[in-house]
Structure 1
Amino acid sequence: MVDVDPTYLAVLVALLVVLISCIFVFKKFFGAKADTVLLIGLSDSGKTQMFSKLINNKSTVITYTSLSENIYDGLLTPSNETLRLIDFPGAERMRKQLSEKWLSKERGSLKKIVAVIDSSSINKRARDVAELLYDTLLESNKKVPMLVACNKQDVGLAKAPHVISTLLEKEFSLINQSRAASLQSTDGSNSRALTLTNPNVSFEWNKLPIKVDFVKCCALETDADDEEKNLIGVRDAIGI
């Protein structure tokens, strides 16, 4: 019988455990099929109406505040691929679940994140919208492309996508700076790992490693021939 050095055996077992862990992590985050479109946004942004219209553009939905996701598994692409559509609640108390479940554990399944914005109230809620988008991009490790759906374009006070894009860039710059300053004042840690981009320069969308697009839309789809009153841009972006 051959004697085996216990130290050698322990190292071998440790290496095996690390290898298995690496394989698990790889499959979890890179091996999963990216087939999920995740709708996020503040309450009253029009997410549930959009969810309903993307499934069936003839449907009419009475929306209400919910604390659970709406899930549809049968969204078909022109090439007959099946996508899963998730309407995640806008309630602030659900942010932890959004982060832990969809932006972490299920991140590998995400094809695109659609951030639905009420274009008619963006001036009043710019900071709240920016905080949600900022945290979503940060907590998803800047791995998932994002579409910002500038909803309610049928409302007279609605802002155009390019205006919203510029407004959010400014808000992101402020968030970068405030979080960096807060971290440095508490423990002196490297703030760049916990901010989206370098806090010492103004934020720009093109500084991110993933693409963030802005489109105009109206979840009510009151006029299918009017680009501002339909979901054509959203449908094209998610490939349905």
Structure 2
Amino acid sequence: MERSVGGDMGGKEDAKMLENTVKQFIEYVRKQVEEQDPVFLISVVVALAAIIITCVFLKYFLTSKTVRSAVLLVGLCDSGKTLLFSRLVSGKFKRTQTSITDSSAPYKAKSDKGTTWTLIDLPGHDSLRAQYLEKFKSAARAIVFVVDSAIFQKEVRDVAEFLYVLLTDSVICRNTPTLLVACNKQDITMAKSAKLIQQQLEKELNTLRVTRSAALGSQDGSVGGSVFLGRKGKDFEFSQLPMRVEFLECSALSNKAEEGEADIKSLEKSLAKL
């Protein structure tokens, strides 16, 4: 790419003017110091101290970012979150039951870097998930939203409502963690595809946005609920969100049940990109 000659000359002139200004200021300060004006010396010391403190504060503020190293597994009850958690952590099948508390373990991404994240399985019951989301959302590097693809048609409204809470949460919108919608149980014949699930969720979220828009300013006890979903004046699409969103298909339990291997390579591949 060619550089502008006029731009270079303008930049050099500005730099020269700044240099001359600094030299004049230094010369002025030197003369005042030689004259030993106490009032002026005190004012200079105070000014310099203020500048130094401001620089230190700005450096600290700009560089001290919260390290988000958690990957949250969320979703409705019986979507397969806990078995998926076990598969990711140990690669093994484990009998599960409905979670009433969180579970966490280190997860090493299958990538060249081999970065280790903290994988956290959050309860899916509607009476518990809000409090656990509130507890861990600030640490989320990514959120894996697990969907039961086999019975999605029956749960589409509940899935959309939970997603709406996530996507309108002010902390999540500010931190923009990666959102991975894991369409689980693809080993079942009647399972819906990731593409169909995405399309139906966009329609349902668009409807929810309309019905809830009047209550955005009210306190309804949900997490967040203060950020407008998508773009005003346009039907909702996941591409409008500030975070990276991926829909993928997986199976924590194979069609051979306990003896079969899980099909979670697509999820592992997405986690390796974090």
Pairing partner for 2:173 from 141, 154, 163: 141
What's the TM-score, normalizing by structure 2?
0.67
Kindly tell me the number of residue pairs found equivalent between the two proteins. Answer: 215
Residues 147-197 of structure 1: CA deviation (Å, up to 9, x unaligned): 1000001112110000000000001101111111334899xxxxx953212
Is the aligned partner of 1:94 residue 2:128? yes
Q: Do the aligned partners of residues 60 and 200 (structure 1) sit closer, same or farther apart at CA in structure 2, a change above 3 Å counting? A: same
Cα distance in 2 for partners of 1:102, 1:25 equals 23
- Counterpart CA distance in 1 for 2:107 and 2:217 is 47
Residue among 156, 161, 166 paired with 1:131: 161
Separation in 2, partners of 1:169, 1:66? 28
The range that moved more, 84-93 or 72-81, is 72-81
Larger radius of gyration: 2
5+ residue gaps, structure 1: 3-11, 187-191, 224-228
Structure 1 residue 56, shift from structure 2 partner: 2.1
Partner of 2:66: 31
The equivalent position to 1:73 in structure 2, one of 106, 114, 127, is: 106
Matches within 5 A, 1:59-70: 59-70=92-103
Question: What is aligned with 1:49?
Answer: 83
Residue 213 of structure 2 aligns with which residue? 180
Report the residue type matching 1:170 in the other structure.
K
How many angstroms apart in 2 are the aligned matches of 1:118 and 1:97? 22
1:76 Cα offset (Å) = 4.5
Q: Which residue of 1 aligns with 2:239?
A: 206
CA contact (8 A) 2:110 2:269 kept: no
Q: Deviation per CA, 1:21-59, whole angstroms, max 9, x where unpaired?
A: x957973xx331x322111010000000100111122x2
Letter paired with 2:78 = D
Cα pair 1:75 1:85 within 8 Å, conserved:
no
Paired with 2:107 and 2:240, the residues of 1 have a C-alpha distance of 35
Correspondence for 1:119 among 144, 149, 157? 149
